[in-house]
């Protein structure tokens, strides 16, 4: 009897400790999201007011520069500070910037992750079309596609280089890494939710959730955030290339043909790469959960804190700006 009560007490204390630690990470993540919005709004007051406002909406190059400033200031800064406090408490290698367990495995994980991104794009497109039938029109922030080498170089930098570096550092580093001790499935899902929330609109958020799960899985298997950076960069570069195609190819029939060929080739390459990934990964699996808590309890602990609830409410209000009814 004493052994039973002793075991029960130990289990209870373990559950409470795990809840406390997960809740702490959730609170810090919530604060990071809050400061993400605050910094963006403060920067908007300085960079998008007066003469600078007209320059922003008329100059694609200036848009690219502002986008880089926003990425570094509103994502990198708050999550770096949050990562410092999480690292101090959990003693986790937050950023895990070491090389992957295998370069070959990482190179095949990239097409796998990209394939998940392609699927995410398709699912999101179906979702947007579905809700549109009910008079709910979903939109997302848009930028003007630049022309000329210099402008396009800046555009690629602002879309396919800086955001993948910064966002993977924040999401798959600061948020996901300390949660992995409670099981990779939970860490992947929780970080994907934060990734989706950060996008702040219902066009990008569903895609970010699906892509975040795929990227998180690839990062866990290869044990390197650099895998996530490469997948993220490849997906964003694909979007940029499509924008350039639309801007440059004026013949609609030719555009459709080039788009179909490009898409088919990318699906073929990503599927083939995915097959090689599962061959190379052999016995490598995501880390199982050895925690006392159930998955739903861990997720509840992560989300249910004052900073995270406030962050979700703020992002909900932001998301509403991109929903048109009627």
Question: CA-based Rg of the chain, rounded to a whole angstrom?
Answer: 21
- Which residues in 292-320 are b (16+ Cβ under 10 Å) and which e? bbeeebbbebbbebebbeebeebbeeebe
Report yes or no: 222 and 102 within 8 Å, Cβ to Cβ: yes
Cβ-contact 60, 151 below 8 angstroms:
yes
Q: Positive or negative, the Cα torsion across 96, 97, 103, 106?
A: positive
- Specify the length of the chain in residues: 326
> What pLDDT sits at residue 51?
75
Helical residues (DSSP H) of the chain, grouped into ranges: 2-47, 51-58, 60-70, 77-90, 103-132, 149-156, 162-168, 176-179, 184-199, 204-222, 225-248, 252-280, 295-303, 306-320
- The pLDDT assigned to 96 comes to 63
SS3 124: helix
Contact 208, 171 (CB under 8 A): no
Q: Per residue in 216-225, is it b (16+ CB within 10 Å) or e — as a string?
A: bbbbbbbbbb
Burial of 149: CB neighbours in 10 Å, binned 0-12, 13-18, 19+: exposed
Question: Which pLDDT does position 270 carry in this prediction?
Answer: 95
The pLDDT assigned to 12 comes to 76
How far apart are alpha carbons 300 and 303 in whole angstroms? 5
d(CA 227, CA 106): 6
Which residues are CB-contacts of 27 (< 8 A; sequence separation ≥ 6)? 305, 306, 307, 308
Q: What is the pLDDT along the chain (326 residues), one digit of tens a residue?
A: 455 455 577 777 788 888 999 999 999 999 999 999 999 999 888 877 777 777 777 788 888 998 999 999 999 999 999 999 999 888 887 766 778 888 999 999 999 999 999 999 999 999 999 999 989 999 988 888 888 889 999 999 999 999 999 999 999 999 999 999 999 999 999 999 999 999 999 999 999 999 999 999 999 999 999 999 999 999 999 999 999 999 998 889 999 999 999 999 999 999 999 999 999 988 888 888 888 788 899 999 999 999 999 999 999 999 999 998 87
Q: How far apart are CA 9 and CA 13, in angstroms?
A: 6
CA-nearest of 158, 141, 164, 31 to 86 is 31
Q: What is the pLDDT of residue 3?
A: 56
Q: Which two tokens stand for residue 233?
A: 């960069």
Task: Assign 314 to helix, strand or coil.
Answer: helix
């Amino acid at each position: 009897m004493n052994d039973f009560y002793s075991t029960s007490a130990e289990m209870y204390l373990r559950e409470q400790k795990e809840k406390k630690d997960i809740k702490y990470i959730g609170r810090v993540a919530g604060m990071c999201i809050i400061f993400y919005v605050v910094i963006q709004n403060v920067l908007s007051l300085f960079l998008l007011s007066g003469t600078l406002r007209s320059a922003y909406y008329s100059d694609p190059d200036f848009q690219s520069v502002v986008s880089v400033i926003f990425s570094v200031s509103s994502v990198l800064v708050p999550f770096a500070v949050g990562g410092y406090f999480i690292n101090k408490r959990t003693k986790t290698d937050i950023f895990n910037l070491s090389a992957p367990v295998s370069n070959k495995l990482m190179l095949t994980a990239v097409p796998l992750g990209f394939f998940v991104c392609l699927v995410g794009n398709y699912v999101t497109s179906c979702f947007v079309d579905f809700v549109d039938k009910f008079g709910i029109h979903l939109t997302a922030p848009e930028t003007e596609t630049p022309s000329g080498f210099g402008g396009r170089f800046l555009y690629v930098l602002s879309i396919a280089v800086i955001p993948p570096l910064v966002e993977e550092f924040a999401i798959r580093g600061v948020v996901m890494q300390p949660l992995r001790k409670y099981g990779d499935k939970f860490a992947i899902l929780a970080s994907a939710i934060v990734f989706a929330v950060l996008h702040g609109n219902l066009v990008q958020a569903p895609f970010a959730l699906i892509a975040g799960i795929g990227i998180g899985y690839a990062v866990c298997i290869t044990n390197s955030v650099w895998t996530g950076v490469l997948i993220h960069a490849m997906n964003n570069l694909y979007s940029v290339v499509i924008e350039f195609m639309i801007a440059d190819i004026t013949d609609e029939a030719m555009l459709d043909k080039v788009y179909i060929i490009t898409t088919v080739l990318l699906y073929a390459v990503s599927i083939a790469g995915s097959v090689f990934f599962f061959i190379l990964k052999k016995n490598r699996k995501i880390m199982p959960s050895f925690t006392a808590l159930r998955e739903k309890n861990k997720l509840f602990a992560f989300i249910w804190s004052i900073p995270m609830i406030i962050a979700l409410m703020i992002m909900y209000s932001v998301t509403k700006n991109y929903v048109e009814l009627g």
